[in-house]
Structure 1
Amino acid sequence: MTLDEVDALLGPEADHRVAERVFLAEGWTPCGAGDWASALRSPGGDLAVRISPFDPAGPYVAEIYREAAHTRQVPRLFVHRRLAGGGDLSVMEWLAAVPEVEAVAFHRAIAEAAPEVAELADVIRRVHERAQVELPWCGPIDVNPDNVMRAADGRLVIADLFSAAGPELYRTAADDPALVAARIPEWERRFMVEIPLTSSGPWEPGAQEKLRAGLAAADAARSRS
């Protein structure tokens, strides 16, 4: 699958809802969800699409996949595309879970820049350092063992290397929505209250509506100023 093919399927203004609906109509099937995104598996079983309503870190993670592709220690990335409203879409090779002991060892090797992962570790460090400068509420490298997976050819890869600092960002959105409105444009966070929160959630009753209203009020105040 190529970017041109995805663009032809989705059109230029698709958001995460459109993307999920289109892929489901093409025969892709749900295969999981995390805090930031849900995933669908291709009809042939060899690809997965990750669809997020809101993921500021998505372009940086995709950059790591591209820059470290030669190491074969990151997923094969076929398509990366931003979605309307701040969403993010990636089409990657299908990956399977690995035992936790293998995942922890792989994370440790990256953290220590061990020789067998030195090039990968360098790419991760460089891109993450830039993200920390450019990305409001950039999160740390994610050492969740679930992020280490195995490709169909048997190699270990690391995915979802980091994200926005979710707890801090959403706490700020609740307590000081004007600050979030000032630092992240509305068109880049339109659907920030629609992330799945499957791992650390669920959303508390009324929390999404409160965040949405607070941010809308902050945007209205900015437009009047």
Structure 2
Amino acid sequence: MLPTFAPDTTADRARALLESAAWTLVGTGDWAWVLASPDGSLAARVTPFDPAFRLFADACLAGPPNPFLVRVDDVVPLRHEGYVVVMERLHPADEDRAQGLVASLGVVSATDSPPPGATADLADHPDVVDLRRRIEDLLAEGARRFRLWGGADIRPGNILQTADGRLRLTDPLFVHGPTVFESIRDGRADLLGDFSRADLEDFLRIPAFVPGPETDALRTALDALDLDGHPLGAPDVDRP
């Protein structure tokens, strides 16, 4: 059973609540932690901040199902822009089949070259055509909304499969995290105008940033930035 999360719940607290309800940590990426439900049928993706996956998850939740797209059951808000995505539990996919789906989608990825030798056998499949259109629409929306938009991240590693072997696309979009990091480090407030101070504080709490001197230095650099028209160091009002 999914715990209840108050609007001011942090991502760390959400993970603790899930673990106390017998959900098990099964994966950690740069932006999020993933926990599996006690019966193994669901996953909860927990992040303090990841606007690209939120764009994708909201579209999955609102749009019609597609057999090549991960099933999202709920998006639960946490403190600021953090959230928990409740979705079907997936597993590593067969590499050749994953490469075939990437090639069939034919969406130019900003993170990887097309898999060598992969055949696009599903390129004209109606569900692949539909998924390609939906991803292209999301890419255009992300580019409109974020100046540090990364683009597509469609590669075999982001194709997973269900327990019975059905392929699912899971994480096809990204905001360019390294440039966000560099902009904080280098004092480039002019590049960070899409994000509030609270957003960026939570960005520094994603799994990619481990406790230590480097992360502490980034927090100090963030404190020195003039963001959102706030005086230096002024706190943001918490948003639900």
Superposition TM-score, scaled by structure 1 size:
0.86
Q: Which residue, out of 90, 103, 106, partners 1:108?
A: 103
Matched residue SS, 1:157 = strand
d(CA) in 1 for partners of 2:41, 2:131: 24
d(CA) in 1 for partners of 2:218, 2:157: 29
Change (3 A) 1:135 1:95: same
Work out whether residues 70 and 170 of structure 2, in 8 Å CA contact, stay in contact via their aligned partners in 1. Answer: yes
d(CA) in 2 for partners of 1:221, 1:133: 19
Name the amino acid aligned to 1:171: E
Work out whether residues 197 and 227 of structure 2, in 8 Å CA contact, stay in contact via their aligned partners in 1. Answer: no
Per-residue deviation at 1:142? Answer: 0.6
Work out whether residues 24 and 35 of structure 2, in 8 Å CA contact, stay in contact via their aligned partners in 1. Answer: yes
Per-residue deviation at 1:220? Answer: 7.8
Change (3 A) 1:33 1:110: same
Change (3 A) 1:220 1:100: closer
Change (3 A) 1:43 1:222: same
Per-residue deviation at 1:222? Answer: 4.2
The unaligned stretches of length 5 or more in structure 1 are none
Instruction: State the Cα deviation string for residues 78-106 of structure 1 (Å, max 9, x = none).
Output: 11133213323201001011122221111
Of residues 161-170 and 20-29 in structure 1, the stretch that sits farther from structure 2 once superposed is 161-170
Instruction: State the Cα deviation string for residues 160-181 of structure 1 (Å, max 9, x = none).
Output: 1112111122111211242355
**Which 4+ residue blocks in structure 1 deviate beyond 4 angstroms?**
202-205, 219-222
> Cα RMSD (Å) of the superposition?
2.4
Change (3 A) 1:78 1:205: same
Matched residue SS, 2:101 = helix
Superposition TM-score, scaled by structure 2 size:
0.81
Name the amino acid aligned to 2:23: W
d(CA) in 2 for partners of 1:102, 1:68: 25
Per-residue deviation at 1:75? Answer: 1.2
Work out whether residues 75 and 151 of structure 1, in 8 Å CA contact, stay in contact via their aligned partners in 2. Answer: no
Q: Which residue, out of 168, 183, 192, partners 1:157?
A: 168
Name the amino acid aligned to 1:47: L
Change (3 A) 1:67 1:125: farther
d(CA) in 1 for partners of 2:41, 2:161: 13
Name whichever structure is richer in helix by fraction: 1
Work out whether residues 66 and 77 of structure 1, in 8 Å CA contact, stay in contact via their aligned partners in 2. Answer: yes
d(CA) in 2 for partners of 1:71, 1:89: 21
- The number of residues matched between the two structures is 216
The question of 1:26 aligning with 2:26 is answered no
Name 1:214's counterpart in structure 2. Answer: 221
State the identity %.
Answer: 26
Name 1:66's counterpart in structure 2. Answer: 61
Per-residue deviation at 1:183? Answer: 2.9
Per-residue deviation at 1:58? Answer: 2.6
The unaligned stretches of length 5 or more in structure 2 are 108-121, 233-240
